[in-house]
Amino acid sequence: MPDVRVYPDSEQLTRAAAHLFVDLAQKAIEAQGQFSVALSGGSTPEALYALLATDEFASRVEWPRVHVFWGDERCVPPDHPDSNYLMTRGALLEHMPLPSHNIYRIHGELLPEQAAADYESKLRLFFGDVPAPRFDLMWLGMGDDGHTASLFPHTDALNEQTKWVVANYVASKETWRITLTPPAINAAANVTFLVSGEGKAERLRQVLKGEYQPNELPAQFLKPINGNLLWLVDTKAAALL
């Protein structure tokens, strides 16, 4: 069983996540002068970003030393309501003293393969000549179907071994997504899932305690090679554990 921390409700879950963000940011900046974080979309992360933007937490982070990335993005323009970037910008980024060159958005308005190649080139420029990117923190959610980032069940991206970023066609949604690959995510120093709500309870039980079948439950693919895997969940999501 991985490290699973259960909180009474979504509010306390969000506060725990904010404290973790601040702690990891402070340690990374002290150790190496910068903090790289890959963010995720969704309602639970949005609450986290809004909390981080409050004085209580924002004042504890040297934001000019924070570098913001994303784990995935929908193939939409940055002003589209479905854009992960747009949500993050409204909840957090536009409230923080972040230099524009510290924000590395995925250009979902490009053709899918072009957007993936563009984002991978940004990552390789930032992280340098290394086998995989070493994010200080990778935030992830988990969908009702067990997907995470835009790694959906039975999609081609699950089998990618060399690229850091791919365009992934999701037939169930009839759409393209841009996503980090399992090797890229598993290279992070800290991989943290945020999961809340009773609708996630059965799938969370399957992912954590069920048979290992990652093509069916992509969240099972994520096992950091040399990092920490942490699940932050509320009591409703953890009801069947």
What is the span of the domain harbouring residue 21? Answer: 14-176+195-210
36-65: pLDDT as tens digits:
999 999 888 999 999 999 999 999 999 999
pLDDT of residue 39: 98
> Looking at the DSSP assignment, which residues form a beta bridge with residue 148?
151
Q: How confident is the model at residue 112 (pLDDT cuts 50, 70, 90)?
A: very high
75-102: pLDDT as tens digits:
999 999 999 999 999 999 999 999 999 9
pLDDT of residue 140: 97
Asked if residue 108 is part of any domain, the answer here is yes
Place of tokens 């992070």: 188
Asked if residue 18 is part of any domain, the answer here is yes
What is the pLDDT averaged over residues 178-183?
98
Asked if residue 222 is part of any domain, the answer here is no
Q: How confident is the model at residue 182 (pLDDT cuts 50, 70, 90)?
A: very high
Asked if residue 22 is part of any domain, the answer here is yes
pLDDT of residue 28: 98
Asked if residue 225 is part of any domain, the answer here is no
Asked if residue 101 is part of any domain, the answer here is yes
CATH number of the structural domain spanning residue 125: 3.40.50.1360
Token representation of residue 131: 């086998």
pLDDT of residue 196: 96
3-state helix, strand, coil in the chain (%, to 5): 40, 20, 40
CA torsion angle 230 63 126 33 (round to 10): -90
Asked if residue 168 is part of any domain, the answer here is yes
Asked if residue 189 is part of any domain, the answer here is no
Residue at 109: amino acid letter: E
Mean pLDDT of the chain: 97
**pTM of the predicted model as reported, rounded to 2 decimal places:** 0.96
1, pLDDT greater than 80: no
Residue 172 backbone zone (phi > 0: left; psi -120 to 50: alpha; other: beta): alpha
Count of structural domains within the chain: 1
